[in-house]
């Protein structure tokens, strides 16, 4: 309920951009999925731009039209992945073949970025 109130407060000011940094991170999976649906419902009515930060790959794919993958420090854009899932997104969207393909694409891109970078970074023995 607190997350709903936070979204409502932010929208009360009619911002052009809604910044959301891990807003559902502390929620259990089912509540998180309900809040994802609520956020999409609000977006469908307002069409506000939402910059949503998450460490959850499925959440990123479900909510996004584009996913921007950042490098570790210094933070730079490593890749931008277009999410071509149709709207409106539903619970069934999360079970579609295309959804799983996109989750895999994001995961593989992250793996390439982080495995590639760790291979370049020498280990430091303590």
What is the mean pLDDT for each group of 10 consecutive residues in the chain (126 residues)? 74 87 90 93 92 95 96 88 97 97 96 71 46
pLDDT at residue 120, as a whole number: 55
pLDDT at residue 118, as a whole number: 59
E strands along the chain, which residues?
A: 17-21, 49-53, 66-70, 77-82
Residue 98: DSSP 8-state: H
Q: Where are the domains of the chain?
A: 2-120
Which of 71, 70, 52 lies closest to 62, judged by CA? 52
Determine whether domain 2-120 maps to CATH 3.40.47.10. Answer: no
């Amino acid at each position: 309920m607190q997350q709903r109130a936070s979204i409502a407060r932010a929208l009360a000011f009619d911002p052009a951009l809604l910044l959301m940094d891990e807003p559902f991170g502390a929620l259990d999976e089912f509540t998180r999925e309900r809040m994802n649906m609520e956020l999409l419902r609000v977006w469908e009515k307002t069409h506000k731009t939402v910059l949503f930060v998450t460490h959850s790959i499925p959440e990123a794919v479900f909510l996004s039209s584009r996913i921007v993958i950042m490098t570790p420090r210094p933070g730079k854009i490593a890749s931008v992945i277009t999410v071509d899932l149709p709207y409106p997104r539903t619970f069934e969207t999360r079970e579609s073949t295309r959804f799983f393909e996109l989750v895999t694409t994001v995961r593989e891109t992250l793996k390439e970025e982080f495995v590639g970078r760790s291979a370049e970074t020498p280990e430091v023995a303590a």
